[in-house]
Amino acid sequence: MKSRRKFLQNITGSVIAIPFLSKIEYLESFKNIKDRSYDGPVLRVAIMGLGSYGTRVADAMKDCTKAKLVGVISGTPSKITAWQAKYNIPEKNCYNYENYDSIKSNPDIDAVYIITPNALHKDAAIRVAKAGKHVISEKPMSINAKDGQEMIAACKKANVKLLVGYRMHFEPKTLEVLRMRKDGEFGKVLFFQGLSGFQIGDPTQWRLKRESSGGGAMMDIGIYSINGARYMIGDEPIWVTAQETKTNKEKFKGGIDETIQFQLGFPSGAVASCLSTYSMNNLDRFFLNAEKGFAELQPSTGYGPIKGKTNKGELDYPHVTHQTVQMDRMAEIILEGKQPTVPVDGEEGLKDLKIIDAIYSAIKSGKKVSLSL
């Protein structure tokens, strides 16, 4: 039995990716990487939520050139002490959940990366925005579209950025598939399949408590297939249907979904068939079928290495540490105004939340639900 964090494979290397370059330029960028110097602006980040994924992000940021971990926010004093020692965090940049509004007067922190249980994202984002700091929220951005809209409004009012931790939007093999699709190499897209799942372990963890997670597998691993269907097809869905299966009503109770199959329809006629589950392993696959070819990523969203192929052969970009690239690219978005190939802003996160809301609605009604994203 595994949690999602253990299920997704360990990082196997740390290199800086530049996803906006051609393949030749991309590979060239890896040469003498340790000798490269950077003297431009650096995004100074505090991490809120010092659990396993927060630790993964912190470790990955050691290799960033444009982003730096400078602060922590946690409700556990012992974690704060441990992180101070491990990551050289000054005492003045350490906060708890009661006092972190005071980051407003701390000029050494530019942004806060919220890596807490899903249901806590909205309130934290609003407080961080009111403190005048940029917000990075782990995905899903919140537990429903209403909360997501409130987060967007708060950040707009405070004139700060709201970004979401969509690390796959910077992954080179994924981006190569998107380039090929945009350039017409696959022809008209017909079908997408997204499989996202694993057998979840500890029944007492927050992911299996609705008040913390907002739902079950759909609010955890299922977000990958939702978001993946959109960026792989390159369009926004206009309807959704969904069906829920529950085999263990004791473990998956109180609004916690175990397995959901859902289907998305797109304006072009393309369809997506996806599965989100907490009860099956070996499910991490994206498949795109089109008139002239196909693309397959398997694993498609794990921490790495991502493996992929198309009708033209294997995708052989080097593995990159997703969170390192993500944080450097987010620094560029916040500090330099750069735009990624696939958006990672609050509006992107809101679209996924609207789809999640519609999936739950479709399950409840048993009917097709229209979407307007």
How does DSSP assign 308-358, residue by residue? Answer: EEETTEEE-PPP--HHHHHHHHHHHHHHH----SS--BHHHHHHHHHHHHH
Per-residue confidence of the chain (373 residues) as pLDDT tens digits? 344 444 443 333 333 334 445 565 554 444 333 436 888 999 999 999 999 999 999 999 999 999 999 999 999 999 999 999 999 999 999 999 999 999 999 999 999 999 999 999 999 999 999 999 999 999 999 999 999 999 999 999 999 999 999 999 999 999 999 999 999 999 999 999 999 999 999 999 999 999 999 999 999 999 999 999 999 999 999 999 999 999 999 999 999 999 999 999 999 999 999 999 999 999 999 999 999 999 999 999 999 899 999 999 999 999 989 999 999 999 999 999 999 999 999 999 999 999 999 999 999 999 999 999 9
Phi-psi region of 234 (alpha: psi -120 to 50; beta: other; left: phi over 0): left
User: Of the candidates 43, 223, 214, 44, which has an alpha carbon nearest to the alpha carbon of residue 120?
Assistant: 214
What pTM was estimated for this model as a whole?
0.92
**Cβ atoms of 285 and 291 closer than 8 Å:** no
**Cβ atoms of 348 and 166 closer than 8 Å:** yes
Catalytic residue among 100, 224, 231, 303, which? Answer: 224
What is the CATH architecture assignment of 4-167? 3-Layer(aba) Sandwich (3.40)
224 catalytic, yes or no? yes
Catalytic residue among 139, 173, 351, 354, which? Answer: 139
**Polymer length of the chain:** 373
User: Of the candidates 227, 238, 234, which has an alpha carbon nearest to the alpha carbon of residue 183?
Assistant: 234
For residues 354 and 348, give the distance between their C-alpha atoms in angstroms, rounded to a whole number.
Answer: 10
Surface-to-core class of residue 90, CB atoms within 10 Å of its CB (0-12 exposed, 13-18 middle, 19+ buried): exposed
The class of domain 168-318+346-370 in CATH terms is alpha beta
Ranges of CATH 3.30.360.10 domains, the chain: 168-318+346-370
Provide the β-strand partners of residue 314. 309
